[in-house]
Structure 1
Amino acid sequence: MEIIKYDSKYKKDFIQFNKDWIIDNFGFLENEDIETFEKIDEELANGAMIYFAVAEETALACCMAKPMENGTWEICKLASNNSRPHKGCGSAVFEAAVKWAINHGAKRLFILSNSRLKAAIHIYKKFGFKEIKLDDYEYVRGDIAFERITD
């Protein structure tokens, strides 16, 4: 397995992994999800990066880091290939996305998630993220948030 930066040949995998994951866990996509999938190239042009774990030309997992405002970067769209073994791939792409954000000026890293996603929450905590409370979790499925201050 290798971790690679965004390659357009895996764009469909990024979208499909995330759609499958969201629908499998929550039953429906939200407008914000669809908007992200439609604006991948725009997000990348604005400084975002998507990392993929790839083995034998097959994408196994992905994660995105994208700039928000005032030095805050969101780590999002962590998903994996549900038809191939991918042990450790989620942590690897997550770590790569975190490093990208920090190397590009992130002072604060932010994650919006759901409290029942135990495996994802384990990854967040493993990389030093702490739970924070929000007044608005933005997504219908969002009920937990995390941050990591980088400086």
Structure 2
Amino acid sequence: MTFADLKILNWRDDLATDFHDINAEWIRTMFALEDTDRDVLENPRARIIDPGGDILFVEAEGLGVVGACALQKTGEGRFELTKMGVRESARGRKAGEFLLDAMIRRAHDRGAETLYLLTNARCVAAIHLYEKAGFVHDAEIMRDYGARYQRCDVAMRYVGPLSGQKDAPA
């Protein structure tokens, strides 16, 4: 597999519209935007960046910015992987996998001791991607954080190496 035509971009204020549009597109397609979604998507600097989180983007050659993912700080050493989406036009290019790997590395760089995500069982392809990357279903995460979204019925914790390198030598 090659990611030669993909590139990770760091957060810039001029990419806030891409962050909003990419995520609003997939959420509206599968669910309805909730107040929590609107708050984060309309105020990414205040809700994600300024409190110590991060947002990364994936750019595909010839298509521009096609994906976004946020890392929201929820406590000391605790981060939620959230608002991860890839535009319909770029699906099948492994942009989501490329972005997820980059965000796991970024979580490590930010000192994450716990990395988790909240999703819905209808997001079958995404759940498969998360499992492949090292996330497992977790009842404790569901209990502690699942109420944030009405649509949340799946909570996962990352149990892979927080170096972002699944096959790195010991």
* Structure 1 length-normalised TM: 0.90
- Is the counterpart of residue 48 in structure 1 residue 53 in structure 2? yes
Partners of 1:104 and 1:88 in 2: CA distance: 25
Q: What's the CA shift for 1:16?
A: 0.7
Deviations 1:4-42 (A, max 9, x none): 11122321111011111011001x110100111232112
Paired residue secondary structure (1:115): coil
Partners of 2:91 and 2:127 in 1: CA distance: 20
Match for residue 153 of structure 2?
A: 143
Contact 1:61/1:86, CA 8 A, preserved across alignment: no
Partners of 1:120 and 1:44 in 2: CA distance: 24
- Is the counterpart of residue 29 in structure 1 residue 30 in structure 2? no
Partners of 1:65 and 1:53 in 2: CA distance: 14
Deviations 1:88-137 (A, max 9, x none): 11111111111111111100101000012111111111111110122362
* Structure 2 length-normalised TM: 0.81
Q: What's the CA shift for 1:2?
A: 0.8
Partners of 1:33 and 1:91 in 2: CA distance: 22
Residue among 78, 83, 94 paired with 1:77: 83
Partners of 1:79 and 1:39 in 2: CA distance: 17
Structure 2's unaligned 5+ residue stretches are 1-5, 163-170
Match for residue 10 of structure 1?
A: 15
The number of residue pairs the alignment matches comes to 150
Query: Where in structure 1 do 4 or more consecutive aligned residues deviate above 3 Å?
Result: 83-86
Written as runs of structure 1 = structure 2, the 5 A alignment for 1:88-127 is: 88-127=94-133
Structure 1's unaligned 5+ residue stretches are none
Q: What is the one-letter code of the residue matched to 1:87? A: R
Written as runs of structure 1 = structure 2, the 5 A alignment for 1:51-70 is: 51-55=56-60, 56=62, 58-70=64-76
Q: What is the one-letter code of the residue matched to 2:52? A: G
**Higher deviation after alignment, 113-122 or 6-15:** 6-15
Paired residue secondary structure (2:88): coil
Q: What is the one-letter code of the residue matched to 2:146? A: Y
Contact 1:114/1:141, CA 8 A, preserved across alignment: yes
Paired residue secondary structure (1:79): strand
